[in-house]
Amino acid sequence: MTRTAALPTPSAAEAAADAIRVAVSTVIFTLRRLPGSAGTAVVLPLVRRTRDPHQGLWALPGGWLDVDESLDAAASRTLAETTGLAPSYLEQLYAFGAVDRSPSRVVSIVYWALIRPDEVPDGSVENVEWFDASALPQLAFDHNEIVGYALWRLRNKVGYSRIAHGLLADEFTLAELREVYETILGRHLDPANFRRQVEHSGTLIPTDRFRTGSHRPARLYRYNQDVELADRGPLDARP
Amino acid sequence: MTRTAALPTPSAAEAAADAIRVAVSTVIFTLRRLPGSAGTAVVLPLVRRTRDPHQGLWALPGGWLDVDESLDAAASRTLAETTGLAPSYLEQLYAFGAVDRSPSRVVSIVYWALIRPDEVPDGSVENVEWFDASALPQLAFDHNEIVGYALWRLRNKVGYSRIAHGLLADEFTLAELREVYETILGRHLDPANFRRQVEHSGTLIPTDRFRTGSHRPARLYRYNQDVELADRGPLDARP
């Protein structure tokens, strides 16, 4: 078989590509104790749209990619501009590009991040509210689908990485760590089994300190920095 | 803290986004026995560029995203147009968008795929050659970096999924399966340990057939379809 490689002709293809715009959006999760409940929930900030399309609906924080900024920089900038949040680490999640996801043709490069509850600034930001990820209203565009995919990635990743660390203070009790897992996975974990598994994993180091309060004192642990966090591979080495 | 959410103004931001174009590229791996050697290599097809920028250099198969096609469809179309290959399954790898990766501003949504050696059509395609992924020349744009990232993803994924299946016939010997792992991971695996691990995993079903030839007969296995392949999550359900 011999076949001529049909390389795109510049004129037609470039004209078509010019009608496509690139945006970035960010799904940023934290945990929050639900009011009037003993449980915690995975929550994320959404921004109320102030113009069409979908004026009045809630949407992921984001904006257009500038011609002179990288994808990562655009994600950080638009997240800060819309919500005031500045997580230390954003990871690319997926590029969403269905033809009909917006009235005009938009490819959205979506990032995701975790932020510790104590890193969320106090006070409110205009047009921004935090929502329980498991009970979202109808969002703008395909943003319900995007959040669903980000939640799946979070649940998946918590199983084989230290990603729960991104939601905890430097020192924590085993009950606090288990609550992070239970909230993300959406199911109860047996305390004795959980203790056995994390003690066996070598990822935790017990400290000499204890959390005291209304319950009996609970030992504080910290993560063993010698054990690799989830490896992002060669992209980690990029400037 | 009260802050005004700085939503992008349509005029300036949209004008900037118009100067950015979207392309798709695909890294498609298979295994090939190296000439004059007992070993196999991970190989991928590259397309020689017939125009600037980087005329004459080798590049990943790809092209511009059409305004009326999805990202997945564009990846399949441009791969077929440039190489004649039509793998059954393409997975999105990453969006590459560094400002200086091309003379003009291009965001490339990169896909990757595996194809079995027997699925590669015979014969040659003009301007297309297969290269050993571990010994690439200087490629166009940031394509060396992209292949490096795809190789890392392949190595990573082979550890926790049945992805090796994408490189094997329906029935295979344990030695053939081990060779796939050894080639991808780039290291020797102990045959007895390997046999123990895969037999313990429950992912393989022994058949009553044997591979005969110059060596002693070796039992053929097939994958247990009841065990989940690597789960892509909710995106699998998308039309």
Residues B29, B108, single domain; the answer is yes
- Domain assignment present for B6: no
Structural domain for B172, as ranges: 163-228
pLDDT of residue A235: 52
Cβ–Cβ under 8 Å, residues A111 and A25: yes
- Domain assignment present for B12: no
Residues B119, B29, single domain; the answer is yes
- Domain assignment present for B97: yes
Eight-class DSSP state of A129:
E
Residues A168, A107, single domain; the answer is no
Residues A69, A142, single domain; the answer is yes
With a CB cutoff of 8 Å and minimum separation 6, the contacts of B73 are none
pLDDT of residue A34: 80
Residues A216, A118, single domain; the answer is no
Q: Which of A136, A158, A180 is where one domain is finished?
A: A158
End-to-end CA distance of chain A: 43
pLDDT at B238 over 50: no
pLDDT bin (cut points 50, 70, 90) of residue A18 is low
pLDDT 10s digits, A31-90: 998 877 778 899 999 999 999 999 999 999 999 999 999 999 999 999 999 999 998 879
pLDDT at A185 over 60: yes
Q: Which two tokens stand for residue A39?
A: 């449980």
What residues of B are in contact with residue A64 (Cβ under 8 Å)? 8, 13-14, 16-17
- Domain assignment present for B223: yes
pLDDT of residue A236: 44
Residues A143, A190, single domain; the answer is no
Q: Which two tokens stand for residue A213?
A: 């309060």
Confirm or reject contact between B38 and chain A (CB < 8 A): no
If you measure CA to CA, which chain A residue comes closest to B4? Answer: A126
pLDDT at B12 over 70: no
Residues A111, A211, single domain; the answer is no
CATH number at residue B62: 3.90.79.10
What residues of B are in contact with residue A99 (Cβ under 8 Å)? 68-70
Cβ–Cβ under 8 Å, residues A124 and B2: yes
Residues B27, B132, single domain; the answer is yes
Tell me the nearest-neighbour CA distance from B32 into chain A, angstroms: 19
Residues A81, A118, single domain; the answer is yes
pLDDT 10s digits, B178-200: 999 999 998 999 999 999 888 88
Q: Which of A208, A232, A91, A222 is nearest to A165 (CA)?
A: A222
- Domain assignment present for B39: yes
| Partner residue opposite B5 with nearest CB, options A23, A97, A127 | A127
Q: What is the tally of structural domains in chain A?
A: 2
Residues A109, A201, single domain; the answer is no
End-to-end CA distance of chain B: 43
pLDDT of residue A73: 97
pLDDT of residue A237: 38
Burial grade of A2 (CB within 10 A; 0-12, 13-18, 19 or more): exposed
Report chain B's mean pLDDT, rounded to a whole number. Answer: 86
Alpha carbon separation from B20 to A74, B61, B99, B146 (Å, rounded): 13, 20, 10, 20
User: Per the CB < 8 Å rule, is A128 touching B231?
Assistant: no
CA B106 to chain centre: 21
Q: Which of A54, A63, A56, A71 is nearest to A142 (CA)?
A: A54
Instruction: State percent of chain B over pLDDT 70.
Output: 85
Tell me the nearest-neighbour CA distance from A74 into chain B, angstroms: 10
Q: Which of A66, A68, A74 is nearest to A90 (CA)?
A: A74
pLDDT of residue B15: 52
Residues B22, B135, single domain; the answer is yes
What residues of A are in contact with residue B93 (Cβ under 8 Å)? none
Q: What is d(CA A41, CA A113) in angstroms, rounded to the nearest whole number? A: 16
| Partner residue opposite B92 with nearest CB, options A68, A78, A94 | A94
- Domain assignment present for A10: no
Alpha carbon separation from A221 to A151, A172, A181, A187 (Å, rounded): 26, 5, 16, 23
Look-up of token digits 């490629």? B139
Over range B146-168, report the average pLDDT: 85
| Partner residue opposite A50 with nearest CB, options B7, B84, B231 | B7
- Domain assignment present for A205: yes
| Partner residue opposite A14 with nearest CB, options B21, B125, B238 | B21
- Tell me the pTM: 0.85
- Domain assignment present for A12: no
Among A residues 133-192, those touching chain B with beta carbons less than 8 Å apart: 145, 148-149, 152-153, 156, 160
ipTM: 0.84
Q: Which of A126, A141, A158 is where one domain is finished?
A: A158
pLDDT 10s digits, B72-108: 999 999 999 999 999 888 999 999 999 999 999 999 9
| Partner residue opposite B233 with nearest CB, options A13, A47, A149 | A149
CATH number at residue A187: 1.10.10.10
Instruction: State percent of chain B over pLDDT 90.
Output: 61
pLDDT 10s digits, B111-143: 999 999 888 988 889 999 999 999 999 999 999
Residues A153, A223, single domain; the answer is no
Q: Which of B107, B139, B171 is where one domain is finished?
A: B139
